[in-house]
Amino acid sequence: MKLAEKDFLDKVEKFTTNPLQKREDTKKIIDAVHQNGKEEDFEKLIFTAKYISGLMRVLISAPGIPEVTSIEHVKNDLNENLKNGIEQLQEIISSGSESEREYFSKNYFTLSQQNISNLTKLFSDLESVKKYMNYIKRQI
């Protein structure tokens, strides 16, 4: 499995030409996926992360896009998918150590401005993973 390769995240960064913002945490998630057989859950998470990142881009650029007529709809969709993404992430790390679960809870799941920023960066990294995995699938 490509995900288990030691240099997987290096390959993701090289492919996307962007450094991962939460590389260590992304690695912790991938390790948890690999150790606990959560590949299917991870596929769902990276799909959701890619969708969330796309919604974030729409919100940021919405004032300049005449086709975006309902910002409220986009915001509601984003909120719903953020909840979904958090639940998916919690499922993946639920089998990890207590210290790992506490770390993610403290840095991602409690409501604060910093944690929302952390979550946005993490989902951006997971979007990069999704893009790379899509590329790999097309190569096979």
Q: What is the pLDDT of residue 70?
A: 76
Let me know: does 30 contact 8? Beta carbons within 8 Å: yes
Q: Which domain holds residue 72?
A: 2-139
Q: What is the pLDDT of residue 110?
A: 87
Q: How many domains does the chain have?
A: 1
Residue type, position 77, single letter: D
* Residuewise pLDDT in 10s, the chain (140 residues): 477 788 999 999 999 999 999 999 999 999 999 999 999 999 999 999 999 999 999 888 876 666 666 778 888 999 999 999 999 999 999 988 899 999 999 999 988 999 999 999 999 999 999 999 999 989 87
